[in-house]
Amino acid sequence: MIRAVLFDVGGTLHEVRRESGLDLRFSQLLLDRLAQCGITLPIDAAVLTPLLHQNAETYKHWSEEHRVELPACRIWNEYYLGDFHVGEERLRPISEELSVLYDAVRVRNVPRPHMRETIHTLFDMGLVLGIISNIISQTFVPQLLEEYGIAPCMSCVILSSTAGVRKPDARIFEKAADACGVPCSQMAYVGDTLSRDVLGCRNAGLALSVQIRNPSIAHRDTAFENTVAPDVRIDDLAEIPGIIRSYNSR
């Protein structure tokens, strides 16, 4: 019996679209905000943009290997802005603000079709709902849930930034189970990646793994295609209530 359905956010509840000019705009906002705090970097936005991307990829690979999420001030100091030796103490007061900007400005987040309706249908079915998300910010996801009108439906919001561990580590799923009051063996999880979401379900022993197709990130999962598979693949979030009803009627 599935009693809880939990969701990934980026790529699952919304699509993350990279559009021309957004990353450059973010770099300029970053430089301006740092300058307001007395931190002037010897670089312009056009040069900073590819450097930030490279440094973010370096951190992503490190965090995926170790399944750890560092505090935001360390991420910005040691990785994203590591070339400039700004100092963790100087970045700490604005590290959360910068982390929100990183996910809010650098890309465009577009809610998936039928996202709100699906969440409210599952809630009305009496299921416990929640979030498990790998993200460097502690406040961006809660703000999004309010904006999307689904925050009251969520019994738990577990973020790697507060948990200190990242999917696919079983511990982040176990933290969600504790917060929701539902064991992993009675939980379903919906995400878009094999390497984090589906593998994490397997590691934690969840009842059901649902993968929503996301062609924009499929290249990151090529190494897992022959070894990890979800229980169900979907194209639309609206498919989920029927899947849960079918599972629970067996």
Among 52, 83, 104, the domain-final residue is 104
Q: How far apart (Å, rounded) are the C-alpha atoms in residues 145 and 148?
A: 5
Clarify whether residues 116 and 232 are in a common domain. Answer: yes
Q: Strand, helix or coil at 4?
A: strand
Specify the pairing of strand 208-212 against strand 232-234: parallel
Burial of 223-233, coded b for 16+ CB within 10 Å and e otherwise, reads ebeeebebbbe
Clarify whether residues 221 and 150 are in a common domain. Answer: yes
Stretch 17-26: mean pLDDT, rounded? 95
Stretch 162-171: mean pLDDT, rounded? 98
| 224 — pLDDT class (breaks 50, 70, 90) | confident
Clarify whether residues 137 and 70 are in a common domain. Answer: no
Among 78, 104, 130, the domain-final residue is 104
pLDDT reading at 225 higher than 90:
no
Among 104, 121, 154, the domain-final residue is 104
pLDDT reading at 250 higher than 90:
no
What is the pTM for the complete model shown?
0.95
Residue 7, burial from CB neighbour count under 10 angstroms (0-12, 13-18, 19+)? buried
Q: What is the pLDDT of residue 45?
A: 98
Domain of 147, CATH number, reads 3.40.50.1000
Name the residue range of residue 61's domain.
19-104
Work out the mean pLDDT of the chain and round it to a whole number: 97
Clarify whether residues 97 and 139 are in a common domain. Answer: no
- The domain total for the chain is 2
pLDDT reading at 219 higher than 90:
no
Q: What is the pLDDT of residue 226?
A: 82
Clarify whether residues 37 and 83 are in a common domain. Answer: yes
Q: What is the pLDDT of residues 38-50, one digit of tens each?
A: 999 999 999 999 9
Measured torsion, CA atoms of residues 163, 166, 168, 172, in degrees rounded to the nearest 10: 0
pLDDT reading at 221 higher than 90:
no
Contact of 199 with 210, CB cutoff 8 Å: no
Clarify whether residues 92 and 143 are in a common domain. Answer: no
Clarify whether residues 129 and 223 are in a common domain. Answer: yes
pLDDT reading at 217 higher than 90:
no
| 216 — pLDDT class (breaks 50, 70, 90) | confident
Q: Which among 88, 101, 104 is positioned nearest to 39, based on CA atoms?
A: 88
Stretch 9-29: mean pLDDT, rounded? 96
Clarify whether residues 133 and 243 are in a common domain. Answer: yes
Residues 6+ apart with CB under 8 A from 201: 173, 189, 208, 209, 230
Q: What is the pLDDT of residues 73-119, one digit of tens each?
A: 999 999 999 999 999 999 999 999 999 999 999 999 999 999 999 99
